[in-house]
Amino acid sequence: MNELNSPIRPPRRLPPLSALRAFEAAAAHASFQRAAAELSVTPTAISHQVRGLESTLGQPLFRRLTRQLALTPAGLRLFHALREGFDTLEAGVQALRARAEGETVTLTANTAFVAKWVLPRIAAFRSACPGIELRLHASDTVVDLTRGDADLAIRSGRGDWPGLATAELMAERYAPLCSPTLGLKRARDLSQHRLIHCDWQPNASAPAQWPRWFSEAGLAMPKARSRAAAAGLSFSDETHAMFATLAGHGVALLSLTLAAEELRSGALVQPFGPALDTGRYFLATARGREREPAIRAVWKWIAAQAGHA
């Protein structure tokens, strides 16, 4: 008879779970105060739990320094064991919750990509994956996929992120786009039009910004011939820059991927080049999770959509 079906089994000889949680949090933060914030208790409560655990085990787990805690060798061994155990426990609970809630996959990407590439394809997704709820997380802040903050991500870069499985989706290029109502035909006439700027993340390897464009075009940055052109416009979100461009407020360096529909319809035009290479888009998930059925289904659908973009 195995233990799972046995009516008799010896009790586990473990200290109280609350003490183990308090110690693991304090060890992770090297601070009773930060551990208390994580567990929503007082620093005094954390200290009492840890001292009780040390008394139960008969050895110190921390060296109390002036402004921080340092693990003893025994404390380090216990911390590694507890972290692994709690990670396994958390993963099991999250898996049960996911099954109880149905097949839900959270996809994260920057706000412009979600608005201009993912949302127009939602009807196609529902038709292709009717049993999966796709939850969209639109943010310019990169989330930690290894912690389960999202299931899948579409990111631009080189695709060499530690702990992640990745697949290349498509190249990304930016070019000067504008409303056809501006009548812009030649790059040398840019000085007569307002330049629209968009912020890029500080860690972007090849941002599409106007000084770079003029350099690659072999042109000097023009001096505006009018007060309106000199003022320019600047946005923190690329979708807002696109709206301003559609309204005829100036010329912007916009993604040819995200503006594809506006270019097809003629709402925007690319009057001249060059187009700037800003990297490639990648699909990413925590390594090993690409084998989960729901994630694999969404992965295949996104890859197929990218191939037809």
Predicted pLDDT at 1: 37
Consecutive H or E run containing 176: strand 164-177
Share of the chain above pLDDT 90, in %: 57
Share of the chain above pLDDT 70, in %: 90
For the chain, list the domains and their CATH numbers.
Answer: 10-100 (1.10.10.10), 102-170+280-308 (3.40.190.10), 172-277 (3.40.190.10)
Q: What is the dihedral of CA 290, 295, 298, 303, to 10 degrees?
A: -10
Predicted pLDDT at 204: 67
DSSP state of 118: I
Mean pLDDT of the region 28-46? 91
> How confident is the model over 115-146, as pLDDT tens digits?
999 999 999 999 998 889 999 999 888 888 98
Higher confidence at residue 227 or residue 210?
210
Mean pLDDT of the region 181-203? 88
How sure is the predictor about 2, in pLDDT bands with cuts at 50, 70 and 90?
very low
Residues 6+ apart with CB under 8 A from 284: 145, 152, 153, 154, 155, 159, 161, 164, 165, 166
Predicted pLDDT at 308: 63
- CA distances for 64 relative to 35, 74, 258, angstroms: 15, 14, 54
Average pLDDT, the chain: 87
Is the pLDDT at 302 greater than 80, yes or no? Answer: yes
Predicted pLDDT at 3: 43
Mean pLDDT of the region 59-87? 89
Q: What pTM, to 2 d.p., does this model score?
A: 0.63
Predicted pLDDT at 8: 63
- Residue 242 DSSP SS3: helix
Rounded to an integer, what distance in angstroms lies between the CA atom of residue 199 and that of residue 236? 5
